[in-house]
Amino acid sequence: MADIRIPLTDKTIAQLPAPKDGWYLARDTELKGFFVVIGKRRRTFTVQGDLRQGGKRASSIRVSIGDASEMSTRAARAAAKEYLAQISRGRHPKDVKQTVRMTPAPAMQSGGTVASVTLRQAWHRYLEAHLIRKNRSNKTVEGYRDHVERIFVEWLDTPLKELAADPARVAKKHDEVTKENGPYMANGSMRTLRAIYNHARKTNRSLPSDNPADAVDWNEEERRNTGMGSADLKGWFAQLAILDNPVRREFHLFALLCGSRPTALQHAKPEDIDCRRRTLHVPNQREARRRRSIYRCRDR
């Protein structure tokens, strides 16, 4: 089959037909140099870029990222951006002689102080010591992860001190993200950067006290008006009636009548229903996570 160009998502990749023989490429329309190699039995995320030395093109290389059945397209695209950034700087992403990409902890100087902590190192500490330890929801953690590993992927190995010394660079990044991803994503990613920097300063007093995110001219945000008034009920019931799944119909109707969040109702179990008192106990997030772990153990 001939190579194709499509927006790569988990769904579009799953729908791609396997070739009768050989392989073909499905190139991403969003990120140049990012594609999936479609074979008979395997689909592999890959990047291709020009390796430059001394400002001149030395060679064109392809680097595999991972099996499409084992990682999401979102994670692969974030890794692809990092790989392409390294290739553009003349570095092979999988050259073991170069700097190790993943560092478990910040390097320590002889005096016991943290030396040139990078954004990657600060993010891992913030993730473990703040988000996970304080039992933040998976949705919250993934939001932070998306900001760091997608929006700031080219800064992962950049020392925080370098960003603090060049706040104009951070302000420019905010402007770029605003144009490419919208004002809300730009503001949210910069709030994440600000939080990680402030957290890093707790263990690294050599970092400047001025947060680089303070240089940002924040986009104006308006509260989203997604509420439904009485005038909207007629149309809502009409859409509800055409749902094929009767369970989903009753679920949405119950959510409307009880006023609970749909995600909270999804965690309710039969034992939460008290038929005599006609009540339903809705578990909190911590209790829901504990239950999911228990049910997973039972399934095994």
What would the pLDDT profile of 24-45 be if each residue is shown by its tens digit?
999 999 999 999 999 888 899 9
Instruction: DSSP letter for 108, please.
Output: B
Band (264; pLDDT cuts 50, 70, 90): confident
Cα Rg of the chain (Å, integer):
24
- Residue 26 three-state SS: strand
Burial of 152 (0-12, 13-18, 19+ CB in 10 A): buried
- pLDDT, tens only, 122-162: 999 998 888 888 878 778 888 999 999 999 999 999 999 99
Give the C-alpha separation, 189 to 152, whole Å. 8
Q: Domains in the chain and their CATH numbers?
A: 4-88 (3.30.160.390), 119-215 (1.10.150), 233-299 (no CATH)
Residue 291 has pLDDT above 60, yes or no: no
Per-residue model confidence (pLDDT) at position 122: 93
List, in order, residues 6 or more apart from 95 with CB less than 8 Å away.
none
Mean pLDDT of 56-74: 82
